[in-house]
Structure 1
Amino acid sequence: MSKVEQSTKLDLDRIIFIGRTFEEYLDMFSLSEEKLKGKKILDCPAGACSFTAVGNKAGINVTACDIAYDHSFDDLQNKGLQDVEHAMENIQKAKNKFQWNYFKTIEQLRNHRIRALQDCALDMSKSRERYIPATLPTLPFDTEQFDMTLSAHFLFMYGDRLEYQFHIETLNELLRVTKEEIRVFPLVDLEGKRYEHLEKIKEYLANNGCSVEEVSVSYEFMTNANAMLIIKKG
């Protein structure tokens, strides 16, 4: 087993393997296919998102990384199907915490989640080299290997269990492997409250030569999760 495998190995039962569709990514990050073409993109952490699978089919150069990719795509697909159903049950119980504009019904949401999972698993089975196992805050990539990095539903969202220093170390690592800009979505925690250290992080980034901007986006499913952070390197 390689050092990367040793550092990323995590019991599959402890991984939640669920993801968003390519279309959701465009809306979450206010992007278009035209804006992405010609760039090298990193999706980190990517989970079961179909952004890499659909993006590469469209001629966009996307690499995905996630701690889950240490496992086989068959195991991940099976785990993902279980996780989608578990998520739907929980969302059904707390429907008032979500905005039902982007998705009209639970069934429509389920279909999007399953489509993302299936696209991801199929692409993994054919192009495993695009799916790199990694455990933040360390990434197995070269300095400025990517033009843009997208990071969804991880940083800030788990502010109750990921310490401030972890956020700083992770952002520093994302900055190391990124040449131009990083986009992080959303800016709230699992309760829909603004991440408590966000202003402190913005100040830290600015003091280290980055320009930082909060931008509202058209995508909102979880209430208040409707903005991203754009971090541009100086």
Structure 2
Amino acid sequence: MAQISPKLARTYFAEIAAGSAVPLDLDGLVNMACLREHGHVVLGDIAVRCHKFRSKWTYDERDIRRAAQAFADSPLDPGNVVEVQLPPRRRYGDKEPEAQGRADWREQIASWMYWHARHTHRRERPFEERDDSWRHIGASGLPGELTWEELLAASVGGRRSIGNTRPLELMTRSDSGLFLPRAYADLLDRWEQVTEELISRARICSRCRAQGPRWGAWRTPSPLGYVTLCPPCSGATFQ
């Protein structure tokens, strides 16, 4: 198999998927932010494995081309939409340990909106007049006094991607709520499933098959990438 660098992978992907109806943010191919968690980059609902080759991280060129072509060939009807129900804001510590950080695209979009609503609230009011009104969905369908125009303006140039795609560029708003193309919402649902399946597999000790905690606590680097070993198996391997 032909191994290519992350930068070349991003170039190939952008060229092949140039006509994709889904707006892409392909910096994740270079950043590889989830190496420790599960060793893949997830583009939409496609998991592309990262390989360690001669001490450098690479991709199989065939994987990149297949994934890019899938985006180029995927239809998207902008007129067939589904309403996006934003979950209420929850504090990070309010979640169960297993639920913290789970792949949830609706909650991710909501968190962006709550953050901008809080920022707008604090920017436009003196300290003594600040309250928790930004935590609640207002008449506009957005948190607090945040407007749709303010949200879009604040998101320009920012890193607002899920599964290396940009949902806010496809989202529309009307008096009745927020909407995304149905096919794209289905894609994000599959992104959740694929991501959680990768994390579940990466939690399993490669020797004794015990299940570890989330987010790569048992994952250690090796010459061929990351391996998952529980503390006893890791100690035995070291000895």
Q: Is TM (by shorter chain) over 0.5?
A: no
Name which one, 1 or 2, has greater alpha-carbon Rg: 2
TM-score with structure 1 setting the length: 0.25
TM-score with structure 2 setting the length: 0.25
